[in-house]
Structure 1
Amino acid sequence: MKREQILKACQEDPESIVALIAHLEENVQRLEARVKTLEDQLNKNSRNSSKPPSSDGFKKPNPKSLREKGKRSVGGQKGHPGHTLSMTDKPDHVVVHQLNTCTCGQGLMDSPVIRSERRQVWDIPPLKMEVTEHQAEIKCCSACGSVNKASFPEEVTAPVQYGARVKSMTIYLNQYQLLPYDRIQELFHDMFGHGLGQATCVSANHHLYNQLETIEADIIERIEENDVVHFDETSMRVKGKNHWLHVASTDQYTHYTVHEKRGRIGMDEASILPTFSGTAVHDAWKPYWGYSCHHALCNAHHLRELTFVYEQGNQKWAKEMIDLILEIKQSVDNKRGTTETLDADEIAVFSRRYDQIIKVGLVEEAGLNPPEQVTPKKRGRVKQSKAKNLLDRLQTHRLEVLSFMCDFRIPFDNNKAERDVRMTKVQQKISGTFRSEQGAKTFCRIRGFISTIKKHSLSVMKGIEAALEGKPFLPL
């Protein structure tokens, strides 16, 4: 409308101007809310949200740890054994460098050796493929005339085949070091001068997958017996479509499964949560609450979300909650090893402070984002701000947030599961997608076995080789 039209409408039809202003105000509120949402998305990074560091791009935030600065200096601490290369008393080879002539020209051939100075060189011997030929004798019995043949070793089943160590190395490189098949073929050609077929790598993985069936069942059983288990899930591409990797972790065992669904159906398929009766540590994803076990929430997630609310929303209560949670953690760390829980009086004080911060936060949030300014959706719940959602979670699940101070067996965060998930994300960055569902299942079973071996500080290569030979072992 032009200025003249507006003035005329004010004189002749003022109600239309009132309606116009109301409409404009509604549009402004809607656009402001949209701008705020987009700004929040742009301002999120790996430090103040659950986004991975790889998503930060070239705008990576400056490192800023939520932990208090320690008193120790950076690097190895006093008493650390170190890893300096040292001499061995039993070298594989000894090369004696003789001294025949003095610097003055006199011959020293007949002079006795006073002493020798030692220097050792650690190196890898020349690498080559070894071929072992098995010959089974065939003999004719002089008594009955029957022809008899000696038996080949059980593992020798074909006229020409690869041994367990070659298969173990291809599995180790592919499943543990995450090298694609093409890179493994190049490595064998460059190091051994041997052309290895891709089908050999695939066949070795599939064979180990079958050999580990009972081991995977044992891992599931031992995880279920634990009092505390960490759970997490992350996206995984299979045949170009999005699937979900589910992980269950303890200090000693790891189990992975892959499923099309992220929620209850996928979790049931993993077969641990439906019968688990201990404490499940997770990130508050809604389907977890449907299981009857005890629950504990990851406070590392809360610290990141609180950082976002404080820095981007300028809400002071969030900083107070960060300080309180870290103070509780420090108190728990100081008493760990001497008791299994904080004193009742200390728990009561921390709980009162926690509740008070929540009350202040609700008031502060209501002042910044009044409920009447939020336009409800046509269906579903009324949309809330990130800060309000976080406040509701901290208030509703107060016991699950603070459980780590009441029972020291319950960890402060869910980092154990997130660490076990991390390398599977690296695999996705390298390979992009699994070509088949069976390939994804093979990776999950083998990777769970490898992770379990590593948690017991055992050799991955020896574990893989033993499993290929039909003697898989599960650490106690």
Structure 2
Amino acid sequence: MTEAEATGLYLSGLKPTMIVLLEQDKLISRQQAKINDLERQFALAKRHPSTPSGMQAAFTKANRASASKRKKKKGKRRGIHRPPPSKIDETKEHVLDRCPDCCNPLPPASETRQRFTEELPVVKPRVIKHVIYRYWCRVCRKIVESPVTDALPKSAIGLRTVVYSAWLHYILGVSFDKIIQLLNLSAHFKISTGGLFGAWHNLARILQPLYDQVGRGAKWSAVLHADETSWRVNGCTHWLWCFTNKHLAYYVIDRCRGSPVALRVLGKYFAGVLVTDFLAAYGLIRALAKQKCLVHLLREIIRVNLFDSSPQWKDFRNQLKRLVLDGLRLGRQRVELNPACFERRKALLRQRLVELYVKPCSNENAGRLRKRLERHRNEIFTFLDFPEVTADNNHAERQIRPAVVSRKTSYGNRSKQGADTQAMLLSIFRTLELRGYNPVNTLLFLAQEHLRTGKPMTLPPTLACTPTVEQPRIETAAV
């Protein structure tokens, strides 16, 4: 409204002015409500639906609604108690000569009762003096001596302490300062940060053959999951890559997030089934087959729903979601259906996929996903062709989780050597866990055998049972 129009409205009288002002107020209210709604949608769009609850700020979370109905009372259940130990290491007798209440003398005890407690022992560092006898070999014409297997060469820290502390940091995500506090508090073992770092680097140096073995195993896997997450090395953005299956986990930290890393690890031709998300870096690898994560596709639908409510998008979204869910349902019914019926339904799903991406759509988001489906048309329902292949990339995301936990406390690495040590030890520890071994005891055993014989180390095969089992008895409580 111009100044002349406002003057004319004022001179027209009270009633016309009130009518115009009320209409303008209604218009402003509607526009303000629309602005608030758009701001809310924009805030939700910035937060990806896959973001864990722990990554969201507390003030952005909605309050939990109070229960409309009272919770159903749980039925009675039989209590569970700790069973009495089979082995007793020490017996303590508790006697009284006077009453604790009135201090009068007491006669001999009339009865006894038993109580069992289990306690960690008080641990003290063991200082071992190694007397190494040296001999002159007449054949080799040199001095020889017996190897020391309790520590790495030129190291004053025991091998068990080095392996145990590395497992605490790289697998459990315990920070350096807390590891030093833990060793000092629980075992009275004093060590500096530099000494701990140097010991881990020396350990990684002798474990290089194991790391290379894991890399070769990833390259020749029948099924392999791949994923990546951001990482920091000396303040610069890097990427931690994870290549994993049920028997191994191979990690690489590199500055590049593109295809060179994937090509370096897997080669240009991969002889198995590669399960990944929709990152374009895996596109240059030619594989026997590829499977794209359908959960990422469903998350993309949820994300677009936050800011796009057009009829064209809703129509495309419903068709795509129904297609994906039908494919997942058919995968679960593989055993129940006869082969002919299963193949017929699988062919029908692929036909529906073709009809979905060839159909033109004016909506921008629908067109973007339509192009994605067309580009990966042979990589959507691969899990229906191979029973051992899953429709999601959840396994890789789970294996990359220890690195994410460690990143929260360490904020990455300070040098390339630290990043290489991180990738190497993380790969070996996780591979041993996936194969059903106790990672600390097994790695300690392998390193000691290498120091004793000088032969290259090799990873043991996968055990028949997947849970972690005990290896040769080595007490880790003593650090």
Match of 2:281 among 283, 287, 293: 287
The answer as to whether partners of 2:170 and 2:402 remain within 8 angstroms in 1 is no
How far the C-alpha of 1:137 sits from its partner, in A, is 7.9
Residues in 2 aligned to 1:327 and 1:321: alpha-carbon distance in whole angstroms: 10
Match of 1:260 among 255, 260, 264: 255
Bigger CA drift: 293-302 or 335-344?
A: 335-344
CA RMSD, aligned part only?
4.0
Q: Deviations over 1:76-107 (max 9, x none)?
A: xx9xxx996322222322335579999xx995
Residues in 1 aligned to 2:341 and 2:389: alpha-carbon distance in whole angstroms: 13
Q: Deviations over 1:391-434 (max 9, x none)?
A: 21123322211112232222110111111222212222212231
Counterpart mapping for 1:366-405 below 5 A: 366=362, 369=363, 385-405=364-384
Residues in 2 aligned to 1:277 and 1:401: alpha-carbon distance in whole angstroms: 19
Residues 311 and 281 from structure 1, CA distance in 2 versus in 1: closer, same or farther, beyond 3 angstroms? Answer: same
Q: Which residue of 1 aligns with 2:90?
A: 93
The answer as to whether partners of 2:334 and 2:342 remain within 8 angstroms in 1 is no
Residues 302 and 160 from structure 1, CA distance in 2 versus in 1: closer, same or farther, beyond 3 angstroms? Answer: closer
The AA in structure 1 aligned to 2:429 is I
The answer as to whether partners of 1:170 and 1:204 remain within 8 angstroms in 2 is no
The answer as to whether partners of 1:264 and 1:287 remain within 8 angstroms in 2 is yes
How far the C-alpha of 1:342 sits from its partner, in A, is 6.9
Identical columns (%)? 22
Residues 237 and 153 from structure 1, CA distance in 2 versus in 1: closer, same or farther, beyond 3 angstroms? Answer: closer
Structure 1 position 451 matched with structure 2 position 438:
no
Q: Secondary structure at the match of 1:313?
A: coil
Residues in 2 aligned to 1:473 and 1:121: alpha-carbon distance in whole angstroms: 42
Structure 1 position 161 matched with structure 2 position 167:
no
Q: Deviations over 1:377-404 (max 9, x none)?
A: xxxxxxxx34322121123322211112
Counterpart mapping for 1:126-165 below 5 A: 126-135=122-131, 153=148, 155=150, 161-165=156-160
Q: Which residue of 2 aligns with 1:335?
A: 334
The answer as to whether partners of 2:254 and 2:261 remain within 8 angstroms in 1 is yes
Residues in 1 aligned to 2:134 and 2:254: alpha-carbon distance in whole angstroms: 53
Residues in 1 aligned to 2:292 and 2:404: alpha-carbon distance in whole angstroms: 23
Residues 51 and 350 from structure 1, CA distance in 2 versus in 1: closer, same or farther, beyond 3 angstroms? Answer: same
Q: Deviations over 1:301-330 (max 9, x none)?
A: 001001223343223231342233223213
The answer as to whether partners of 1:234 and 1:244 remain within 8 angstroms in 2 is yes
The answer as to whether partners of 1:283 and 1:298 remain within 8 angstroms in 2 is yes
Q: Which residue of 2 aligns with 1:310?
A: 305
The AA in structure 1 aligned to 2:348 is V
Residues in 2 aligned to 1:450 and 1:340: alpha-carbon distance in whole angstroms: 41
Q: Which residue of 2 aligns with 1:351?
A: 350
The answer as to whether partners of 1:226 and 1:278 remain within 8 angstroms in 2 is yes
Residues in 1 aligned to 2:297 and 2:98: alpha-carbon distance in whole angstroms: 76
Residues 264 and 454 from structure 1, CA distance in 2 versus in 1: closer, same or farther, beyond 3 angstroms? Answer: same
The AA in structure 2 aligned to 1:229 is L
Structure 1 position 246 matched with structure 2 position 241:
yes
Residues in 1 aligned to 2:384 and 2:53: alpha-carbon distance in whole angstroms: 29
Residues in 2 aligned to 1:414 and 1:129: alpha-carbon distance in whole angstroms: 44
Residues in 1 aligned to 2:307 and 2:154: alpha-carbon distance in whole angstroms: 69
Match of 1:406 among 385, 390, 394: 385
Q: Which residue of 1 aligns with 2:172?
A: 177
Figure out how many residues of one structure are paired with residues of the other and give that number: 395
The answer as to whether partners of 1:307 and 1:318 remain within 8 angstroms in 2 is no
Q: Secondary structure at the match of 1:411?
A: coil
Residues in 2 aligned to 1:149 and 1:295: alpha-carbon distance in whole angstroms: 55
Bigger CA drift: 350-359 or 193-202?
A: 350-359
Q: Secondary structure at the match of 1:230?
A: strand
Q: Which residue of 2 aligns with 1:323?
A: 322
Q: Secondary structure at the match of 1:121?
A: coil
The answer as to whether partners of 1:335 and 1:342 remain within 8 angstroms in 2 is no
Residues 454 and 159 from structure 1, CA distance in 2 versus in 1: closer, same or farther, beyond 3 angstroms? Answer: closer
Residues 346 and 163 from structure 1, CA distance in 2 versus in 1: closer, same or farther, beyond 3 angstroms? Answer: same
Q: Secondary structure at the match of 2:286?
A: coil
Residues 341 and 163 from structure 1, CA distance in 2 versus in 1: closer, same or farther, beyond 3 angstroms? Answer: farther
The AA in structure 1 aligned to 2:238 is H
The answer as to whether partners of 1:176 and 1:447 remain within 8 angstroms in 2 is yes
List runs of 5+ in structure 2 lacking aligned partners. Answer: 5-35, 65-71, 100-104, 136-142, 451-456, 462-479
Q: Secondary structure at the match of 1:232?
A: strand
Q: Which residue of 2 aligns with 1:209?
A: 204
The AA in structure 1 aligned to 2:43 is L
- After TM superposition, the score normalised by the length of structure 2 is 0.71
Match of 2:410 among 425, 431, 442: 431
Q: Deviations over 1:94-151 (max 9, x none)?
A: 335579999xx99557x9x8xx754321221112212223346899xxxxxxxx9996
Residues in 2 aligned to 1:2 and 1:267: alpha-carbon distance in whole angstroms: 64
Q: Secondary structure at the match of 2:380?
A: helix
Residues 55 and 108 from structure 1, CA distance in 2 versus in 1: closer, same or farther, beyond 3 angstroms? Answer: closer
Bigger CA drift: 219-228 or 332-341?
A: 332-341
Residues 214 and 157 from structure 1, CA distance in 2 versus in 1: closer, same or farther, beyond 3 angstroms? Answer: closer
How far the C-alpha of 1:281 sits from its partner, in A, is 0.9
Residues 182 and 100 from structure 1, CA distance in 2 versus in 1: closer, same or farther, beyond 3 angstroms? Answer: closer
Bigger CA drift: 244-253 or 345-354?
A: 345-354
Structure 1 position 276 matched with structure 2 position 270:
yes
The answer as to whether partners of 2:172 and 2:402 remain within 8 angstroms in 1 is no
The answer as to whether partners of 1:171 and 1:204 remain within 8 angstroms in 2 is no
- After TM superposition, the score normalised by the length of structure 1 is 0.71
Residues in 2 aligned to 1:276 and 1:357: alpha-carbon distance in whole angstroms: 30
Q: Which residue of 2 aligns with 1:301?
A: 296
How far the C-alpha of 1:449 sits from its partner, in A, is 0.7
Q: Which residue of 1 aligns with 2:466?
A: none
Q: Deviations over 1:13-35 (max 9, x none)?
A: xxxxxxxxxxxxxxxxxxxxxx9
